[in-house]
Amino acid sequence: MSDITSQSLFELTSNVKEKKLSSGEITKAFIDRAEKSKKLNVYVTDNFEKAIDQSKKFDSNPNFDLKLPGIPIAVKDLFCTNGVRTTAGSKILNNFVPTYESTVTQNLWSQGAILLGKLNCDEFAMGSSNETSFFGNVQNPVGENLVPGGSSGGSSAAVAANLTPVTIGTDTGGSIRQPASFTGTVGLKPTYGSCSRYGIVAFASSLDQAGPMTKNVRDCSILLEVISSFDQKDSTSIDYKRNCYSKELSKDIKGKKIGIPKEYRVDNMPDEIEQLWKNGISYAKDCGAEIIDISLPHTNYALPTYYIVAPAEASSNLARYDGVKYGFRSPGQNLIEMYEKTRSEGFGDEVKRRIMIGTYVLSSGYYDAYYLKAQKVRKLIKKDFDDAFSKVDAILTPSTPSSAFKIGEKTNDPVSMYLNDIFTVPINLAGLPGISIPAGKDKNNYPLGLQVIGKPFDEQNILNISYALEDKINFKNDISDWWLSE
Amino acid sequence: MSIDLKTVKHISKLARISIDDEKANKLKGDLNNIFEFIEKLNELNTDNVQALTSIAETTLRFRKDEIKSENIREKILKNSPEENKDFFVVPKVVE
């Protein structure tokens, strides 16, 4: 049997069910590795003591019918966990201990999983490199001083470094798929309305979705099956029959029509990414898929649209952090001064920037010029996809315009940081499902990902296409454990 | 269109985030860069386009109007920055 922490979720689950491994052994293995991996800074808060108790409890009365029997899992620190500190990577929530549980994490525990801890992320999920976190940047296990992507950077690093078998992140403009691409892991953003947003610290409510981040496509299908559910507590949760994604997973994609959008060939895109895309296309053909050239004419307008819609929603969502009912408070002479000081000291620079953008575009006299305009363009972007999906079953693109970059390389130029999400943002604006799978490496040996985009609620199809491509690509991450301490 | 220092200060007031002059100047630069990038949308004529209002295109559900008394006062007050039995405490509002 291979080393416990390097096993996939599927292998661990099988080993537990066949009584080759206990929950206690698995939990201890991940905790031991985490103790030696502090250099990566993936954890904001660990739950190790309680996790050991819970694993013992599972082993004393195991239920092997569950989908995650006694499996320890760390989650992004954006999910509220009952009794366990939840910070969203922000000083303003530094001392916040929720008294309720997010629906998505509750779904994990209901299937037998055990909380290992809370993973670092960009502050309020605003960032593409995990450098905006109040708790410091995360190291990408792929190489020293590389960013792990963001905002789910602690999550992507933890999966790639074998610190959790799988995890869940959130994706507002690419925050699952971009870090997955940067770390050689798999990340899926489900259709808007598929996973409940209840108990997730809100960033931009019309874009936010939780999703699985895993080592491979099969694990991704298992985890999606667990977390996707209809929920009365989320008014935008959609009541539809969800597939048994892992049971229906198949490499047979013969005759599937896969669209290649010409607008995703952007200026200054490295040749390696162009080549990666070509390889993906030829693998899809090898699997019997039909390749069709398509056009998504408004692609170039997606990022500017996103940088109106997302900050507008964020400025409204983050109005709740006023130092009155929970979180950090800075005292003031009067109520207004208390608000202003609390928010000034409690939020980091990127969050303030976005609140300011959002406040401006929603302010009197500017609403029509910015917010309304953006919502109109958003409609055009959505229509591009509707038109494309009348001709194809799925769309194949690169996940990101570059591989992981160095820590500090883009922190002084917000716009260059935003350009990271150029291929992922349109999918959130249109509410579609998208998955990033590792597909190759660049000249520095850093991973690169391909993205498969699907029709609404067609997660099964993009999982199947990814499953077939994964088999052909046969990606190996070869991470050297350079960060381990004794 | 460019955003001047006065506008930056005005937005920070609306957003209830106090900023000093140095920060305001830095923000002015950042915001102007970002808005230059956003202005790209003006290339598009959207006169006859209906704005998107909901991505999921479903109507909101109704639920029964029932009282669900869960007595969660203690839970709600648990994370209060300043404790005073049953209330949230803030600086004096009424003189």
Regarding predicted confidence, which is higher, B70 or A360? Answer: A360
Tell me the mean pLDDT in the region A148-164: 98
Query: Each residue of A382-401: b (16+ CB within 10 Å) or e?
Result: bbbbeebbeebbbbbbbbbb
Q: Is the peptide bond before A156 cis (omega within 30 degrees of 0)?
A: no
* Chain A residues 396-415 within an 8 A CB cutoff of chain B: 413-415
Q: What is the pLDDT of residues A106-136, one digit of tens each?
A: 999 999 999 999 999 999 999 999 999 999 9
Mutate to test the interface with A, among B2, B35, B54, B55 (most CBs of A within 10 A): B55
pLDDT at A345: 98
B92 falls in which pLDDT band (50, 70, 90)? Answer: confident
Of A258, A238, A240, give the one whose Cα is nearest residue A396.
A258
The residue ranges of every structural domain in chain B are: 5-43
Positions of A annotated as catalytic residues are 76, 151, 175
Q: How far is A347 from chain B (nearest CA, A)?
A: 9
The answer, yes or no, to whether residue A1 has pLDDT greater than 70, is no
Angle between helix A349-362 and A302-317 (nearest 10): 100
pLDDT > 70: what percent of chain B? Answer: 98
CB contact under 8 A, B78 and A99: yes
CATH superfamily of A4-257: Amidase signature (AS) domain (3.90.1300.10)
CB contact under 8 A, B16 and A334: no
pLDDT at B60: 79
- A220: Cα within 13 Å, side-chain hemisphere: 33
The residue ranges of every structural domain in chain A are: 4-257
pTM for this entry: 0.97
CB contact under 8 A, B54 and A335: no
CB contact under 8 A, A304 and B44: no
B1 falls in which pLDDT band (50, 70, 90)? Answer: low
pLDDT at B61: 82
Contact list, B24 vs chain A (CB under 8 Å): none
CB contact under 8 A, B34 and A100: no
B83 in A contact zone (CB under 8 Å)? no
Tell me the mean pLDDT in the region A68-79: 98
Residue A412 to residue A350: CA distance in whole angstroms: 11
Contact list, A333 vs chain B (CB under 8 Å): 91
Which of A235, A303, A356 is nearest residue B15 as measured by Cβ atoms? A356
pLDDT > 90: what percent of chain A? Answer: 95
